[in-house]
Structure 1
Amino acid sequence: MSRLEDIKKVLGSPSYENEFGLIYNMDCLEGLSILSESGLNIDATITSPPYNIGKEYEKIMPLNEYVNWLEEVFNLVFNITKEDGALLLNVGYLGIPNIGKAVPITYLIWDKIKFYLQQEIIWNYGAGVAAKKFLSPRNEKILWYIKNPEVYTFNLDNIRDPDVKYPNQKKNGVLRCNTLGKNPSDVWQIAKVTSGANRSSQERTNHPAQFPEDLISRMIKGFTNQHDLILDPYMGSGTTASTAMKNNRLFLGFEIDSNYLETISNRLNKTLVEIQDKKKLLTLF
């Protein structure tokens, strides 16, 4: 029995499925609790939870409840993650009365999760909130957690940056730079998914907080392997699933808001057609 069939056996019929994965319309806490008791596991999690700032898909919680909620979710994720697995957790900022206007969520949760914090990645983007009385925000954080600091997946060659200033520079007759490119560092300059009549991104959906595929693709290539099963407890617009499919990985997602299921289904069906068309084209050569 395949890993996906094993999951269906314990979680039941999904709201959406294809050959690469499953999407469930349920609270991720419920689904993760069931999986935690089942003994089944996943290879990695790539996700971005609600930031508790009043977006249309969330209800604002008291700060301590919000932090406790994140802790509960991601400690369940820890329980179902393989020994060499990872959690890539994207978080932004929130306001705390009498404390701060834009407090990074990383400050509140980084040590609350059972995973080992390997590194903080800065996601820098060009477009965002315009400001006059403070600096315009242009970054969010990605916490790269691993389960075992001695055994984990890291495919540096798959995410090297080919834009090398001096690619042919030598020392003692030997090339100093890897021919595949340079280490992309812990600051990633990747454009946000924009909206608007004249500047909307081609991949834009109706979700107000959409992951860019370039960002997820780098995480998938760098921190997972072919055929791995990737979890996203907050599936949103389906970017993690779509990008997993394009990189020959499996996916498992939870999305509590049924309004986004049609968006996810349409997007993943389109991705499936793209993959099938690409396979057909390759058979011609």
Structure 2
Amino acid sequence: MKKIAITEDSSRKIASKDKNAYVAKGIDPHQATQVAPSTLLQPFSKEIESCILSKHLSVEKTLKSQLGEPFYSDAGFILYQGNSTEFLDKLSSTNLHIDLTITSPPYNIGKEYEHPMSVDEYVSWCSGWMHQIHKVTKATGAFWLNIGYLQVPDKGLCVPIPYLLWDKSPFYLLQEVVWKYGAGVSTKYRLSPRNEKWLFYIKNFQKYTFNLDNIRDANVKYPNQKKDGKYRCNPLGKNPSDVWECPKVTTGKKRSSKERTGHPAQFPLGVVERIIQASSNQVEIVLDPFAGSCSTGIAAFGLGRLFIGFEIRQDYCDMAVQRFKAFQKERRTAYSQALLL
């Protein structure tokens, strides 16, 4: 891709090629995130499709007996509208065990979908549903938690929520992953925030699902480097670091991501896709108790997992179903095009 040149103005520091590498080298044109990564549009084998449908019918029957009728259900995708803690309590009464939970709860920062709480109340509330998730998680299962920052009165303005929650459940914290992105809030009296954290929890630190080969990074700087006559790097690529660079879901007339919905706190499919690949296998159950626009559900469905989601707001449920149907259409189009090649 040809880079875009920036006009130099040596009288301005930010427009001088001696001070600004982008002026000197040019910049890549902005590319908004697509409706879905191509990896989520790949067809499944007939065997996998059959297994997904069979498991869906079994899981749906079990859920209906304890949780009632879902808001929406299609093979591999089940969404309930209502309070997540109530649904988690009912889920614990079933014989279902969750392989992977991925979620991003409210941050208690005044978003439209939040009820204001004190910091202590917020931590206690989070601890409660984290315990519930632990209870329904399979012995070899995992829990990935996306959280940002909040203000602690008289203590700090941008306090990372992981500092407050990391040990508030029975889960074993394996590591923290930093999600780094370019776009974000601009500030004047502090540094501009450009990252959020994912906490990677597991239930049993001696045995858990981790599919490293599924997420290896092929961008190896010296792919042909050898030691004692043998290639040093795995032929599939290197182990990704704990800092993941992935564009946010952006807005704007020329910068808006194609996957963008009306939800105010939507994380990109590219991030959650890697998590699902690493911490679950096909036909396993992926849960999101704060489903929002269902990024977790779209990615889980696209990778051949069975998704269960809880979302308290009906407008977000409606939005998520519309998004899911659009994604199904995108997959069918991709299948048709593949058959023509």
Same fold (TM over 0.5): yes
Structure number with larger C-alpha Rg = 2
- Partner amino acid for 2:165? I
Q: Secondary structure at the match of 1:2?
A: helix
Question: Structure 2 matches for 1:1-285, cutoff 5 A?
Answer: 2-281=58-337
Displacement after TM superposition at 1:284 (Å):
5.9
Total equivalences in the alignment: 285
User: Quick check: 59-68 or 273-282, which moved more?
Assistant: 273-282
Structure 2 unaligned residues grouped into runs of 5+: 1-56
Contact 1:43/1:230 (8 A) holds in 2: yes
Q: CA deviation at 1:38?
A: 2.3
What are the superposed Cα offsets for residues 155-211 of structure 1, whole Å, 9 maximum, x if unpaired?
A: 111111111111111111111111111111111111111111221111110001001
| 1:152 Cα deviation after fit | 0.4
CA distance in 1, matches of 2:102, 2:240: 19
The secondary structure found in structure 1 opposite 2:92 is: helix
Counterpart secondary structure, 1:140: strand
Segment drifting more, 93-102 vs 32-41 = 32-41
Shift of 1:4: 2.8
SS in 2 for 1:107: helix
Deviation, 1:283, is 5.5
Letter in 2 for 1:175: Y
C-alpha displacement at 1:10, in angstroms? Answer: 1.5
Q: Deviations over 1:12-61 (max 9, x none)?
A: 11111110121111100010001112232211100100000001111211
The amino acid of 1:148's aligned partner reads N
Of 34-43 and 137-146, more deviation after overlay is shown by 34-43
Using the aligned pairs only, state the percent identity.
Answer: 51
Provide TM-score, normalisation by structure 1: 0.97
SS, match of residue 37 in structure 1 = coil
- Are the structure 2 counterparts of residues 10 and 281 from structure 1 closer, same or farther at C-alpha, using a change threshold of 3 Å? farther
The letter for the 2-side match of 1:14 is: P
**Equivalent residue letter for 1:29:** T
Q: Is the 8 A contact 2:62 2:94 kept in 1?
A: no
Q: Secondary structure at the match of 1:5?
A: helix
Distance 1:125 1:37 in 2: 40
Distance 1:85 1:213 in 2: 21
Partners of 2:62 and 2:335 lie apart in 1 by 27
SS at match of 1:177: coil
Relative to the length of structure 2, the TM-score reads 0.81
